[in-house]
């Protein structure tokens, strides 16, 4: 690692074999071969075939593929075709969503190919930034994006916005002086970094690294090496697949050997066992999950939230903690005057206009280089803020500057820490001065109070210093303002314009919170979601913003974190658990914090817009980047993109995620309860040596008719009331539903067995089988209503989900079609009389009645 900030310009030239005249073209060609073009390339370019292939890596999908192959080999072609269609549908839905997300990301990608001025053969010329090489000498002016990492040769009033790299919200004043070797990146004020922006001034700089060798590029490279984390939903589906497969295969093996023991034909028993295994596995679940998530993603996209991976929706719903950066995510990333102190009183932008405040606002626009062009104010963010606050109180820069033409200007520098502009009004020459509050006070001998000028005593200066420190302790960037009239006989000079000033007051600025964020934070906290701020900005500023948003808690800085031994896990755990604000932290510290939170069993969402956030985004359970302010590399590393950069959109997405999680549990509850009963009915009938009530094709029919449509309809249930008042769900998809599955399975089992026994004694075997299958189908369809909510249907109603009504009517209609048309011959169904059908319907209603009565008593 080269410490470019810690060596002189001469040493920089020597190491890079360059000079202030720049490189010649032959040398540039050689260096382009050696270092390559100045671009990052495309991060982790995704091959469409690999995106499609990745849709089939779930354990449940693999189990279904095995079931499909077995079905095909034993001649159950219809079963095999149905499973194949479901697996394919699941893959296509996932592929379309991920591929579409990649296309949108590509459209969002900002090109790094822009024009810059560079010295070649001692001549200044304009070239594309991608042809820059180490050793090039470039010229940078206000408004330019910095294309590479550079060492400053010389500069004039240079200020750079480094928020995208460090998280620092205020512009950084730059210098060409040597900086201490051990300085952290945010303190290397003689360096310029790729991706940051010049907000004022100009400079000459030598390029020290390009492309992947820049700070920006090295973080991008680290992302490439970071292992892709499986999302919680992917883990849960794999876990679900293992449990369900183990249970079903175990029961089917028991069933097979019981049948053999009881003297059943081995081949017949094998076919029945395989049919039950295929039928009992909820083959529709992957497609239901995929469709449910795709529908949710479409809804979220309408609200400017782009989900790049299907499982991210559900992960959001179970998020327990959000790690957010500050600048541009919680805040506007633009400075605003928050508080003004003049003549013993404080004012805000909502205060009434008084003569007392007008003088400080007037100084703010007259000692100012920002431009007000057709309502858009351009320039240094600090000076832009001064013009905007003056406008609120009716002071227009253009009018004031025309009345007071400029005579001379002495620009801000890091030694004086102030700026002065001399203007003329008639014959009167006045120096208007702004700068660091303490410096303005030092250079002042009088004070402007209520339109009158009075002497500024040492005691009064002490009082003003206390006020200054109080304003700074609120996280404000405070500027002092003064003026003086210059006698016509006096020489115009910097010294004359900036000494013996009349002190007017202070203006304190802050990067304000985004308007919608406070409510979003409140909603997150009431939903049981913790919020921690991880930022490169200062502790004071971050605490001030946090307080305004209702986030209370202790803060710690990156410097303090550095003092903690890396192997002291207890201390790290305690600090990460206890602290709310982590200020001035490095990307690697941010990554470590996220790793610790995950070890503490949190489902962690991390937000960010700069390359300093990439490592943490990649490690998080769900990484959330900004679509407008976000760096290309950051979006590439994320699972979700806020297209409007609106923090409040995260909470909307969490709400949608919780809805998805709840509804998936409803679908799984329905699917497993229906399928489990079939195995127990067959097993019990075998033990009694009765004829089988369900034949292999009838089992397939029941799964086709009763499973897919109602389960899919349950997955789009409306959001239940109070969903954002509950704590995040840390349980899995199977947690809390086993009692429902068991009770529904027993009820289904008992009702079908009783009906089949009665029908065998009164009708033919074909009628008994048709009645048993009809009762089982109707039991499951009616049970779908009970799965809608843990609340009684008397409270929720059945009309709020039209898709569930449609699905039950269609499924019931299909079954009746099979019973009363020649289609029934395939499944060995026979037409039932109205009485027989009525008895089957009443039997099927048993589950719904029992569950609704249970819900009422449970609630009481």
SS3 536: coil
| 39 φ/ψ angles, rounded to the nearest 5 degrees | -150, 165
Count of residues in the chain: 860
Among 471, 7, 381, which residue's Cα sits nearest to residue 162? Answer: 381
Residue 325 annotated among the catalytic residues of the structure:
yes
**Contacts (Cβ under 8 Å, ≥6 apart) of 571:** 564, 565
How far from the centroid of its chain's Cα atoms is residue 1's Cα?
33
The rounded radius of gyration (Å) of the Cα atoms in the chain is 36
Q: Which residues contact 267 (CB under 8 A, 6 or more apart)?
A: none
Which residues make beta-bridge pairs with 699?
none
Contact 497, 410 (CB under 8 A): yes
Contact between 733 and 237 under an 8 Å Cβ cutoff? The reply is yes
Q: Which stretches does DSSP call E strand in 142-196?
A: 149-161, 172-173, 191-192
The number of angstroms, rounded, from the C-alpha of 467 to the middle of its chain's C-alpha atoms is 39
Distance CA(765)–CA(14), nearest Å, equals 98
Distance CA 620, CA 596 (A): 11
Q: Map residue 667 onto helix, strand or coil.
A: helix
Using an 8 Å Cβ cutoff, are 319 and 311 in contact? no
Across 576-662, the runs of DSSP E, i.e. the strands, are 579-583, 604-608, 622-626, 640-642
Angle of CA points 653, 658, 660, to nearest 5°: 95
Nearest to 190 by CA among 227, 153, 216: 153
In the set 136, 149, 325, 662, the catalytic residue is: 325
Kindly report the three-state secondary structure assignment for every residue of 729-778. CCCCCCCCCHHHHHHHHHHHHHHHHHHHHHHHHHCCHHHHHHHHHHHHHH
Q: Which active-site residues does the annotation give?
A: 325
């Amino acid at each position: 690692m080269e410490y470019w900030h810690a060596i002189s310009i001469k040493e920089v030239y020597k190491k890079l074999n360059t000079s202030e005249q720049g490189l010649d073209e032959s040398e540039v060609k050689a260096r382009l071969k050696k270092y390559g073009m100045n671009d990052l390339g495309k991060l982790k370019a995704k091959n469409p075939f690999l995106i499609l292939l990745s849709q089939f890596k779930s354990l449940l999908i693999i189990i279904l593929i095995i079931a499909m192959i077995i079905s095909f080999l034993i001649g159950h072609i219809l079963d095999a075709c149905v499973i194949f269609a479901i697996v394919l549908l699941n893959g296509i839905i996932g592929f379309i969503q991920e591929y579409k997300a990649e296309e949108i990301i590509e459209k969002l990608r900002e090109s790094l190919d822009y024009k810059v001025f560079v010295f070649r053969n001692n001549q200044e010329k304009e070239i594309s930034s991608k042809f820059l090489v180490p050793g090039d000498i470039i010229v940078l002016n206000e408004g330019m994006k910095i294309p590479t990492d550079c060492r400053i040769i010389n500069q004039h009033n240079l200020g750079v916005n480094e928020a995208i790299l460090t998280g620092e919200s205020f512009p950084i004043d730059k210098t060409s002086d040597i900086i201490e070797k051990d300085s952290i990146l945010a303190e290397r004020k003689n360096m310029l970094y790729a991706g940051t922006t010049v907000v004022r001034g100009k400079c000459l700089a030598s390029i020290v690294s390009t492309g992947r060798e820049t700070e920006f590029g090295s973080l991008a490279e680290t992302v490439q090496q970071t292992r892709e984390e499986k999302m919680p939903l992917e883990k849960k589906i794999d876990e679900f697949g293992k449990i369900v497969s183990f249970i079903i295969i175990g029961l089917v093996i028991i069933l097979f050997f019981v049948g053999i023991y009881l003297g059943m034909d081995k081949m017949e028993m094998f076919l029945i066992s395989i049919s039950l295994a295929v039928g009992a596995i909820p083959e529709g679940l992957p497609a239901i999950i995929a469709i449910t998530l795709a529908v949710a993603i479409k809804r979220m996209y309408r609200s400017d939230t782009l989900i790049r991976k299907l499982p991210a929706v559900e992960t959001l719903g179970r998020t327990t903690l959000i790690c957010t950066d500050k600048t541009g995510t919680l805040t506007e990333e633009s400075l605003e005057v928050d508080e003004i102190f003049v003549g013993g009183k404080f004012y805000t932008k909502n205060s009434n206009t008084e003569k007392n405040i007008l003088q400080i606002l007037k100084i703010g626009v007259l000692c100012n280089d920002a431009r007000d062009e057709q309502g858009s104010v351009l320039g240094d963010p600090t000076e832009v803020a001064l013009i905007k606050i003056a406008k609120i109180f009716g002071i227009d820069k253009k009018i004031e500057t025309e009345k007071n033409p400029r005579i001379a200007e002495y620009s801000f520098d890091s030694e004086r820490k102030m700026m002065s502009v001399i203007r003329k009004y008639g014959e009167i020459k006045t120096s208007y001065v702004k700068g660091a509050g303490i410096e303005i006070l030092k250079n002042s001998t009088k004070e402007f109070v209520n339109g009158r000028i009075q002497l500024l005593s040492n005691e009064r200066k002490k009082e003003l210093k206390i006020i200054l420190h109080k304003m700074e302790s609120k996280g404000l960037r405070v500027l002092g303002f003064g003026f003086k009239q210059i006698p016509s006989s006096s020489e115009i000079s910097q010294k004359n314009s900036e000494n013996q000033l009349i002190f007017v007051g202070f203006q304190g600025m802050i990067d304000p919170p985004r308007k919608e964020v406070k409510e979003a934070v409140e909603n997150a906290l009431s939903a049981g979601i913790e919020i921690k701020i991880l930022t490169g900005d200062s502790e004071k500023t971050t605490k001030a913003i946090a307080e305004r948003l209702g986030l209370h808690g202790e803060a710690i800085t990156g410097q303090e974190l550095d003092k903690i031994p890396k192997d002291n896990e207890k201390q790290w755990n305690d600090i990460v658990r206890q602290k709310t604000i982590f200020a001035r932290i490095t990307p690697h510290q941010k990554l470590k914090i996220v790793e610790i939170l995950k070890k503490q069993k949190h489902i962690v969402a991390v937000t960010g817009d700069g390359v300093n956030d990439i490592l943490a985004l990649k490690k998080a359970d769900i990484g959330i980047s900004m679509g407008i302010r976000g760096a290309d590399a950051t979006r590439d590393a994320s699972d979700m993109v806020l297209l409007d950069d609106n923090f409040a959109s995260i909470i909307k997405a969490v709400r949608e995620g919780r809805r998805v999680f709840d509804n998936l549990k409803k679908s799984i509850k329905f699917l497993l309860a229906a399928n489990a009963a079939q195995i127990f009915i067959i097993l019990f009938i075998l033990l009694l040596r009765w004829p089988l009530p369900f034949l292999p094709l009838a089992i397939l029919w029941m799964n086709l008719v009763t499973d897919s449509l109602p389960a899919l309809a349950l997955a789009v249930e409306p959001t239940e009331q109070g969903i954002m008042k509950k704590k995040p769900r840390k349980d899995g998809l199977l947690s809390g539903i086993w009692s429902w599955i068991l009770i529904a399975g027993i009820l289904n089992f008992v009702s079908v067995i009783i009906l089949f026994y009665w029908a065998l004694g009164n009708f033919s075997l074909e009628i008994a089988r048709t009645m048993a299958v009809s009762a089982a189908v109707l039991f499951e369809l009616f049970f779908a209503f009970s799965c809608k909510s843990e609340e009684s249907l008397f409270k929720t109603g059945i009309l709020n989900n039209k898709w569930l009504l449609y699905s039950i009517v269609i499924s019931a209609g299909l079954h009746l079609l099979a019973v009363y048309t020649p289609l029934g011959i395939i499944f060995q169904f026979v037409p039932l009389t109205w009485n027989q059908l009525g008895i089957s319907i009443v039997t099927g209603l048993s589950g719904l009645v029992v569950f609704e009565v249970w819900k009422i008593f449970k609630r009481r």
